[in-house]
Structure 1
Amino acid sequence: MLGGALAAGAPARTAGGEPAVVFRNFAVSGALTRDVEELQTPAALSYGADIVSVLVGVNDTLRCAFDIQDVAVRLGRLCGQLAGQGALLLTACLPDPGTMLGLPAPLARPLARRQRAVNAVVHALAERHDTLHLHMSDAAWVADRSLWSADRLHPGERGHRMIALRFHTMLADRGLPVGPPPGLESDQSPPGRTAALLWLATAGTGWVVRRCHDLLPELLRLAGDEIRHRARGTSERLDQHAEAALSAALAALAALSPGAPFAGTGE
């Protein structure tokens, strides 16, 4: 799942007394890291989950008020709280939306910088909490169109099956009982160009309109910066600025005590 998502599993018993698993999906389409921390995490903590998947960050990169330090601190708090309760976390680094959507370079580069920063934060948290981590930003994931839905931002059926299989393998490697592996055979064919155009003409239109009031003015400003710096031969300054912001975010993340509340950016 690409976007704000938090799902949890906890042990239970069948009517015959055999071990079973109860699955709860707390994810909400379009959720930001703020939503995952403030709304979804308390529900997962109350649920007392043993395994929690935390897939979040792309929606944050698609907002004009993107702040990598705020994202890092919020992710650090929620992962610390879940891990502190004994939950095993499933995390993933995610592809940047500019590449997935095939945007022109001046529009794609700022989104790529943002997603790289989010992925760096998630990598740091994966090491800190020994999560089961999936590299979904790798080129093989991005290039395989059969894994993605018509909107190119969310996995399709085969993509979800692949994600489930990869996590199943990692859980099994940890010695956890996970049952038989999920199959990769899809019930539906991967979406083609016609399906993508149909999505754009229906649901995609509403998505574009919503982003026009939020991301588009900021993205156009960022694209303008890209074009000006490229014309001057100073594009490295934009990379340096992004690296400085990421360094500050990782420093704020390192200052967090695992499982403890922290008054971070924007609080």
Structure 2
Amino acid sequence: MSAPTGVTARDGVPDGAGEPPARLRFAALGDSFTAGVGDPVAQGRRGWAALLADALDDGSRGVEFRNYAVSGSLSADVRARQAPAAAAFRPHLAAVVFGTNDTLRHPFDLDRLAHRMDEVCGQLAAGGAVLLTACLPDPGAVLGLPAVLGRPLARRQSGVNAVVHHLSARYAAVHLHACDPAWVADRSLWSPDRLHPAERGHRKVAADFHGLLTARGLATGAPPGPEPRLPRPGRAASVRLLVTEGAGWLARRSTDLLPQLLLMAAREAGHAALGTTARLDQEHRRTVLAALAAVRPVPPR
């Protein structure tokens, strides 16, 4: 795999020295999406980032992969704990995919989230890392919530995705667009809890990122295979998963998200009855524009 510009000099190996290339260092930051929830293996969880790391090892140089992602992490957790540890690792590639958990909490502050994302991206990019980013589908659509409940969450996630798009352009990131309706519609990509990708979904994310890296000249060799190695859980196993993990998630969210979501749903229903839903959309656009304007216009050198 070709290394990002500056890697050879940074590792202290002059061009033409005849020494073997330094191992590719790949770090992954984020929440359960990157931690591998939905892709169980004998050792615990794997996930798309680990699959991608395996595919990046084409035999010409080794790959050292570290996954700092923790299930349930908020943007504050990524900035305060994961980013400093990943920056100390000095990765050549750094996957930075988070923000959805912030949309599922109260209060939700898009300005604050944008600043945290910018700080994480800036810290890793300043160390020479090429960033991997992704915009994700809104959780309401994935969960199949009624429109009156799902629409407020969709606005929040669209705001997060707008910030991700903005920062991806500023930092010249390798960006994966994974929020189109086809992602949500293909149930084979999602685990029974309807919250996380299944093994097939994780493999698709890994393969799509590999394709983008290949197009940038940052990867060679074959992408991860698309077909799962393990059979999809049967009906009984799916029910057990929903009862354990799904019910636990609902219990945790009942104290912060649910009351706020019910208030947002009541407001949504009220505007729908009056035919003034466009006002909510305009309010959301102003919030997004304000968040983007507050982010530093020029990335740090």
TM-score by length of 1: 0.88
C-alpha deviation, 1:87, in angstroms: 0.5
What letter is aligned with 1:50?
A: H
Deviates more, 1:22-31 or 1:76-85: 76-85
Matched, 1:73 2:115: yes
1:2–1:153 contact (8 Å) kept in structure 2: no
Deviates more, 1:181-190 or 1:115-124: 181-190
Matched residue, 1:225:
267
Distance 1:25 1:2 in 2: 10
Deviates more, 1:205-214 or 1:171-180: 171-180
2:122–2:299 contact (8 Å) kept in structure 1: yes
Equivalent position to 1:182, from 214, 219, 224: 224
Matched residue, 2:17:
none
C-alpha deviation, 1:36, in angstroms: 0.7
Matched, 1:140 2:185: no
C-alpha deviation, 1:4, in angstroms: 6.8
Per-residue CA deviation, residues 194-249 of structure 1 (Å, 9 max, x unaligned), is 55433221121111111001100000000000011111111111111111111110
C-alpha deviation, 1:108, in angstroms: 0.2
CA distance 1:102–1:110, shift in 2 (3 Å): same
Distance 1:47 1:2 in 2: 19
Q: Structure 2: which 5+ runs fail to align?
A: 1-29, 36-48
2:75–2:113 contact (8 Å) kept in structure 1: yes
Matched residue, 1:103:
145
Matched, 1:168 2:210: yes
Matched residue, 2:192:
150
Matched residue, 1:35:
77
- SS of corresponding position for 1:202: helix
- SS of corresponding position for 1:54: strand
Matched residue, 2:169:
127
The percentage of aligned residue pairs carrying the same residue is 54
1:79–1:259 contact (8 Å) kept in structure 2: no
2:132–2:173 contact (8 Å) kept in structure 1: yes
Matched, 1:59 2:126: no
CA distance 1:193–1:92, shift in 2 (3 Å): farther
RMSD, matched Cα:
2.3
1:2–1:94 contact (8 Å) kept in structure 2: no
Per-residue CA deviation, residues 141-190 of structure 1 (Å, 9 max, x unaligned), is 11111111112221111111111111111111121244332111212234
Deviates more, 1:183-192 or 1:198-207: 183-192
1:2–1:154 contact (8 Å) kept in structure 2: no
2:143–2:194 contact (8 Å) kept in structure 1: yes
- SS of corresponding position for 2:150: helix
C-alpha deviation, 1:19, in angstroms: 1.8
Provide the aligned length of Structure 1 versus Structure 2.
254
Matched, 1:22 2:64: yes
Matched residue, 2:300:
259
The ranges of structure 1 where at least 4 consecutive aligned residues each deviate by more than 6 angstroms after the TM superposition are 6-10
Deviates more, 1:40-49 or 1:237-246: 237-246
1:83–1:89 contact (8 Å) kept in structure 2: yes
C-alpha deviation, 1:130, in angstroms: 1.1
1:3–1:57 contact (8 Å) kept in structure 2: no
Distance 1:165 1:88 in 2: 18
Matched residue, 1:263:
none
CA distance 1:160–1:2, shift in 2 (3 Å): farther
What letter is aligned with 1:115?
A: Q
1:4–1:32 contact (8 Å) kept in structure 2: no
Q: Structure 1: which 5+ runs fail to align?
A: 261-267
CA distance 1:29–1:2, shift in 2 (3 Å): closer
Per-residue CA deviation, residues 79-134 of structure 1 (Å, 9 max, x unaligned), is 11211211011111000000000111111000000000000000011111111111
1:45–1:85 contact (8 Å) kept in structure 2: yes
Per-residue CA deviation, residues 49-93 of structure 1 (Å, 9 max, x unaligned), is 000111111101000111111111110111112112110111110
Distance 1:241 1:3 in 2: 30
What letter is aligned with 1:65?
A: P
TM-score by length of 2: 0.79
Matched residue, 2:286:
244
1:4–1:58 contact (8 Å) kept in structure 2: no
What letter is aligned with 2:194?
A: R
